[in-house]
Amino acid sequence: MNELRDLQLIIGSGVPIVVIESHEEIRVLQMMTKLSMKMGLAVNAWSVTDGLWRADVAGSEPIQNLTDPESILVHIKSAQTPSMFVLCDFHPYLDEPKLVRLVKDIALAHKKLGHTLVFLSHKFEIPAELKRLSAVFDIALPDEAQLLNIVREEATKWSKQRGSKVKTDRDTLQMVVRNLMGLSFEDARRLARGVIADDGAITQNDIPEINKAKFKLLDMEGVLSFEYDTANFKEVAGLVDLKEWLALRHDAFFGEKSGVDTPKGVMLLGVQGGGKSLAAKAVAGSWSLPLLRLDFACLYNKFFGESERNLREALKMAELMAPCVLWIDEIEKGLGQNDTDNGTSQRILGTLLTWMAERKQRVFIVATSNDISQLPPELVRKGRLDEIFFVDLPEQSVREAIFEIHFNKRQCRPTSIDLSQLALLTAGFTGAEIEQVVVSSLYCAAAEGSELGQHHLVSEIQKTSPLSVVMAEEVAKLRQWAEGRAVAAG
């Protein structure tokens, strides 16, 4: 009812052109019909296939000779009875100057004719000539209560058809509803129906599928990518302090604790291959949230102002996917202080900082960096993100756990393997380097036609020059910076 009242206020205020971006054409036309009864105005609808018809009169026959875009505008311009005209999918035609002028003529004659043009399309770019005569109206998306009702309605329908109840539990149902946020009524209903129809149950396994489908519906490909392979913290060795920190903030992020601020995010600083990316994936996996990755390489555009627009679009999309985790990998490459890019990085930084300060949706940021000294101080100060964690080279016990994880992952743990010796020999190795030792050893064993043995692993370790040796000065400098400035991830 609130959105109907808001639309009535816009049209009642005398705005001659209203733009509505929505995929829910039927729902918008139904809303316009309700509005016609409140305002006493006729509502006409038009499409290039059917022509013009009365949307507020059941069974109205369309006027077929008005399918041409120019003819409908000429008809509206000459109509004497004040009416609302909903023009469906008119956006492709407004690149013709004559049609833009006709629309402007109708808008300028609003006081005399009383016509309101409503442009209804999935996406609509208002021509510059019409912007001051237009208002954009956003169709409300369903809230949690409405989404819960949609899921229950679909479950009831399935139960009546099959004669058995849909299996689920309260926590899973709540999680599914949360992940449907940001979708339209019809899209949410379609996804809920698909989840239930599959096996007559709503389970944790359905949540990743919902997020994949939601991402495709919102058309986010490009600057943002959807990370399908999210890890669990069981797959991440070490990082004990980070895990505890996140566990304490789980309920607050989901709004289950009142009186506390919503967690904003973390910065993970560390050497390359130290497990920062895996930790970012694990945050999303452990919280059962979709993981979106922001790619700065795709963000930057040679045209002035386009890079900032790309970022605004990406952040808007992230809000539509909320609750979610937004992973900004190697953030220094996109926001590093640079005097040779005509100020683009500074404008990008300003756009990001403004969004971080003003956002209301639950988007948890995980920013990773290999060199925080390149980042502007405005970004790393307290308050932008909740904490800066330093992911150091793994200690011996953690290295043992990393070996164990990769053996189990590949189902290749022979009983003869001495983990403690391997952990001792890999002092200064990152998690990625340890994984590569396992991978290379398996290749060697397969080439020999033998089972993986200790000698294969020791040989590969001896061949490897870890990053902590190759770039010892840089690693020492990073550790020195982090001491006293960042919290150890553990």
Question: Which is it for strands 487-488 and 387-391: parallel, antiparallel or unpaired?
Answer: parallel
396 versus 485: which is more confidently predicted?
Answer: 396
Is residue 392 predicted with pLDDT exceeding 90? no
In this chain, the answer to whether the domains covering 2-137 and 396-470 adopt an identical fold is: no
Q: What is the mean pLDDT of residues 331-360?
A: 77
Q: What is the mean pLDDT of residues 459-468?
A: 90
Is residue 50 predicted with pLDDT exceeding 70? yes
Q: HSE (CB half, 13 Å, CA atoms) of 91? A: 12
Q: What is the pLDDT of residue 442?
A: 92
Kindly indicate the confidence band of residue 16, based on its pLDDT and cuts at 50, 70 and 90.
Answer: very high
112 versus 213: which is more confidently predicted?
Answer: 112
- Counted residue by residue, the chain has a size of 490
Assigned CATH topology for domain 144-217: Helicase, Ruva Protein; domain 3 (1.10.8)
Q: How do the domains of the chain map onto residue ranges?
A: 2-137, 144-217, 233-391, 396-470
Is residue 381 predicted with pLDDT exceeding 90? no
State pLDDT tens for residues 278-334.
Answer: 888 888 888 888 888 887 766 765 444 577 777 888 888 888 888 889 998 888 877
Is residue 128 predicted with pLDDT exceeding 80? yes
Q: What is the pLDDT of residue 121?
A: 94
Q: Which two tokens stand for residue 267?
A: 């910065």
| CATH ID of 233-391, from 3.40.50.180, 3.40.50.300, 3.10.580.20, 3.20.20.100 | 3.40.50.300
Is residue 265 predicted with pLDDT exceeding 70? yes
Q: What is the mean pLDDT of residues 262-278?
A: 85
Q: What is the pLDDT of residue 304?
A: 45
| CATH ID of 396-470, from 1.10.8.60, 1.10.940.10, 3.90.480.10, 3.40.50.10860 | 1.10.8.60
294 versus 342: which is more confidently predicted?
Answer: 294
Is residue 179 predicted with pLDDT exceeding 50? yes
Percent of the chain with pLDDT over 70: 94
Nearest to 267 by CA among 399, 345, 371: 371
Identify which of 102-116, 171-185, 385-399, 464-478 has the greatest average pLDDT.
102-116
413 versus 349: which is more confidently predicted?
Answer: 349
Q: What is the pLDDT of residue 297?
A: 66
Q: What is the mean pLDDT of residues 38-65?
A: 88
Lowest average pLDDT, out of 300-304, 406-410, 463-467, goes to 300-304
Percent of the chain with pLDDT over 90: 31
Computed from CA positions of residues 339, 377, 281, 171, in that sequence, does the dihedral angle turn out positive or negative?
A: negative
Please state, in angstroms and rounded to a whole number, the distance separating the CA atoms of residues 132 and 146.
Answer: 35
Indicate left, alpha or beta for 200 from its phi (over 0: left) and psi (-120 to 50: alpha).
left
Q: What residue type is 125 in one-letter code?
A: E
- Strand, helix or coil at 231? coil
Lowest average pLDDT, out of 41-55, 114-128, 287-301, 414-428, goes to 287-301
Domain range 2-137, CATH architecture = 3-Layer(aba) Sandwich (3.40)
Kindly indicate the confidence band of residue 115, based on its pLDDT and cuts at 50, 70 and 90.
Answer: very high
Is residue 339 predicted with pLDDT exceeding 70? no
Is residue 350 predicted with pLDDT exceeding 70? yes
Kindly indicate the confidence band of residue 338, based on its pLDDT and cuts at 50, 70 and 90.
Answer: low
Average pLDDT, the chain: 86
Q: What is the pLDDT of residue 301?
A: 58
Q: What is the pLDDT of residue 312?
A: 85
Residues with Cβ within 8 Å of 8's Cβ and at least 6 positions away in sequence, in order, are 35, 38, 39
Place of tokens 């979708």: 183
Question: Which is it for strands 42-47 and 83-88: parallel, antiparallel or unpaired?
Answer: parallel
φ, ψ at 315 (rounded to 5°) = -70, -35
State the DSSP H helix or E strand holding residue 319, giving kind and residue range, or none if neither. helix 306-321
CB 48 within 8 A of CB 89: yes
Is residue 364 predicted with pLDDT exceeding 50? yes
Kindly indicate the confidence band of residue 151, based on its pLDDT and cuts at 50, 70 and 90.
Answer: very high
Q: What is the mean pLDDT of residues 153-181?
A: 87
DSSP 46: E
Please state, in angstroms and rounded to a whole number, the distance separating the CA atoms of residues 137 and 274.
Answer: 47
Q: What is the pLDDT of residue 109?
A: 94
Q: What is the pLDDT of residue 69?
A: 94
CA 69 to the chain's CA centroid: 36
Please state, in angstroms and rounded to a whole number, the distance separating the CA atoms of residues 387 and 487.
Answer: 8
Q: What is the pLDDT of residue 84?
A: 94
Q: What is the pLDDT of residue 303?
A: 47
Indicate left, alpha or beta for 222 from its phi (over 0: left) and psi (-120 to 50: alpha).
left
State pLDDT tens for residues 188-234.
Answer: 899 899 889 878 888 888 887 888 788 777 665 567 777 776 767 76
State pLDDT tens for residues 237-255.
Answer: 778 888 889 889 888 888 7
Please state, in angstroms and rounded to a whole number, the distance separating the CA atoms of residues 457 and 469.
Answer: 19
Please state, in angstroms and rounded to a whole number, the distance separating the CA atoms of residues 423 and 344.
Answer: 45
Please state, in angstroms and rounded to a whole number, the distance separating the CA atoms of residues 28 and 30.
Answer: 5
Identify which of 101-110, 228-237, 306-315, 414-423 has the greatest average pLDDT.
101-110
Kindly indicate the confidence band of residue 342, based on its pLDDT and cuts at 50, 70 and 90.
Answer: low
Q: What is the mean pLDDT of residues 438-457?
A: 91
Q: What is the pLDDT of residue 86?
A: 96
